[in-house]
Amino acid sequence: MAQDILKSSLENASFNIIFQVLCRCVTFVLNAFVVRHVGQAVLGVMNVRLLLLESMILFLSREPFMKACLTNTADHNWAQVVNLLWVTVPICVTMSVIFGYIWLFLLTTAETLPPYYTFAVCAVAVSCIIELCSLVIQLIASAFLFVRLKIVLDSIMIAIRTMTFVPLILYRPENALFAFGVAQLVAAIFYTTSHYIYFHYYIQRLKFKPRRKMSLRDSSDEIVSKEFPFESVSDFLPGQLRNNDSYLDKKLSVLTWSFFRQGILKQILTEGERLIMTVIPVLTFAEQGTYEVVNNLGSLAARFIFRPIEESGYFYFTQMVRRDKPLSDQNSSKIQESVNVLTQLCSVVTSIGLVVLVFGQSYSSLLLWMYGGSKLTSYLPVLLLRTHCLAVLLLGINGVTECYTNATADSATINKSNLIMIYESIAFLCASYVFATWLGPVGFILGNCVNMGLRILHSMTFINRRHRDTVYRPLRGLVPKPVFTASLIIAALITKVSHVYFFPDEKFMHFLIGLISFLVVLGSWMYENQELIKLGASKWHERRDRHKKSD
């Protein structure tokens, strides 16, 4: 089955968005129910300490290998790739022991930790190890464009985790951390076993059908076609595939090491506020819980839209642009297409971020009231959510520009950028600590804005330098168009007046005014982006016709 990279990337993004929205909506409703039954302090421990532990272990163990091994998948020696990916398991075990010891014995707090804290830490560490046992299959699913599989399993895992957690909370609210740990283990076991079961049956079907092929065009515009190289589930284990070369791919190993060193700094930048909250307890557990509730609400756009776009964009750019060649020496049609995609992605995420920023100022109170009741409509949660809307805008821009940078930079460039990221990390941590000391929880969001701003500046510098000798200027997509900008300004004024006069006494009227304003803004955006809409519609019709023919 020949796969077009752009169409597959768009399909990946669209299915990712749809499934994530559906699943997150269910999770969102259930979490709103949990917020009303679990104390803010316990919520702070779960959402800050324990989720930070999971993020640290998984990111540092998995992210560098995935980024490196997704590069030029058509040229892979899969025996070497499988061997390299299984190195993540002992790394994950080591990370789990180190971070687990720190979380249990070295972190200090003036408050009493909730019951079952030790069990929850151990459960998170073990669940990370279990999940990485299927990392080989996760990468194969991405490389051979099993788009629906990834989305379905990710969504089901989130649902299983939530559905395991909620009944245990209802039965024993005081044992919330026990419920959290059990849910982590159940979800990880499902995620790993389901990957192996799916590919076991898939390989069995291939024995009676033509083998699936992945067809890509290389830099010389010749078709590179490779069959699905695995004949048994045992081939996913290290040392099982026939390999006439060295045990590991040297280039991939060097690239992985580069991403690993960069990943440490990126993790500090991404999780800086949680690190400060955990290592230097400037906030109480209750304040941490309030911050995380608002942070989760404020990052809905990032979870639903920005992250799927970033993941699909990274895969697309790795296949279209060579890391080790100037753009002028590469296939001109592929470069032109990649520039157009980058420009449109910049335009889309900037537009979404501006809409969130404008409407968030007047509708944060209403959203918080709907989510957690009147206790979340006090001054601090509302101020936190309004400030977070600025971070959403910067987060979207950073996601697109950084995914292109990571997808097209060579190892030397990545290594050189590590020094810059050290300075960015120091500036981010200092800004977060200073702002948090002065302004409380709001300071963490402002510190994160500093973080995003520095990362965007770094990525924009790389992109401009990369296209310096060409006629392309993809970053022009970051500048909003005039009619759309004017409609946003008018909507901001109208919704602000509506908030003053109608909230909280006439919430429905306030919502109705916001809905009408949003439709006007959406119409102005569609008017100025008719070509993009037509392109999307044509791709959708092509995909529908292709499915009809296959049926």
Q: Positive or negative, the Cα torsion across 178, 184, 190, 192?
A: negative
Separation in Å, CA 99 to CA 49, 53, 103, 212: 11, 7, 6, 41
CB 268 within 8 A of CB 423: no
pLDDT tens-digit series, residues 184-223: 999 999 999 999 999 998 888 877 665 545 444 443 333 3
Residue 255, pLDDT score: 84
| 426 close to 273: Cβ distance less than 8 angstroms | no
Instruction: Identify the band that residue 437 occupies on the pLDDT scale cut at 50, 70 and 90.
Output: confident
pLDDT reported for residue 19: 62
- Mean pLDDT for 72-79 is 73
Which of these, 316, 428, 445, lies nearest to 393 by C-alpha position?
A: 445
H or E element in which residue 407 lies:
helix 379-408
pLDDT for 189 equals 96
Asked if 310 contacts 361 with a C-beta cutoff of 8 angstroms, the reply is no
d(Cα 356, Cα 362) in Å, to the nearest integer? Answer: 10
Res. 305 pLDDT band, cuts 50 70 90: confident
Of 138-147, 211-220, 533-542, give the lowest mean pLDDT range. Answer: 211-220
pLDDT at 470: 81
Query: Is-contact 347 52, C-beta < 8 A?
Result: no
Q: Is the pLDDT of residue 111 over 50?
A: yes
- The rounded distance, in Å, linking the Cα atoms of 405 and 408 is 6
What integer is the mean pLDDT of 410-427?
77
Contact criterion met (CB below 8 Å) for 517 and 494 = yes
Q: Which residues contact 65 (CB under 8 A, 6 or more apart)?
A: 84, 85, 87, 88, 135, 139, 256, 259
Q: How far apart, in whole angstroms, are the C-alpha atoms of residue 322 and residue 251?
A: 14
Number of Cβ within a 10 Å radius of residue 528: 18
Neighbours of 282 (CB within 10 A): 17
Residue 21: count other Cβ atoms within 10 Å of its Cβ.
16
Q: How is residue 88 written in tokens?
A: 């993540």
Give, in order, the Cα–Cα distances in Å from 522 to each of 159, 319, 456, 517, 529: 32, 33, 26, 9, 11
Query: 3-state secondary structure string, 179-232?
Result: HHHHHHHHHHHHHHHHHHHHHHHHHHHHCCCCCCEEEEECCCCCEEEEECCCCC
Cis upstream peptide for 167 (omega within 30°):
no
Query: What are the residue ranges spanned by the domains of the chain?
Result: 48-108+117-270, 279-473, 480-551
CA distance to 27, 123, 158, 159, 287, per residue, from 22 (Å): 9, 27, 11, 10, 30
Structure letter (DSSP) for residue 71:
T
Both tokens of residue 16?
Answer: 């990712």
Q: For residue 28, count CB atoms less than 10 angstroms from its CB and return exposed for 0-12, middle for 13-18, buried for 19 or more.
A: middle
Assess whether pLDDT exceeds 80 at residue 275. Answer: yes
pLDDT of residue 29: 67
Question: Is the pLDDT at 368 greater than 90, yes or no?
Answer: no
Q: Are 284 and 111 in contact (CB under 8 A)?
A: yes
Tell me the C-alpha distance between 423 and 427, whole Å: 6
CA–CA separation, 263 and 216 (whole Å):
29
Q: What is the pLDDT of residue 549?
A: 60
Task: Indicate the pTM of the whole model.
Answer: 0.68
Has residue 129 got a pLDDT over 60? yes
Question: How high is the pLDDT of residue 7?
Answer: 62
Q: Enter the tokens of residue 431.
A: 């800004």
Alpha helices in 271-331 (DSSP H): 272-279, 285-298, 300-301, 307-320
Q: What is the pLDDT of residue 308?
A: 78
Q: What is the rounded distance in angstroms from the CA atom of residue 117 to the CA atom of residue 178? A: 8
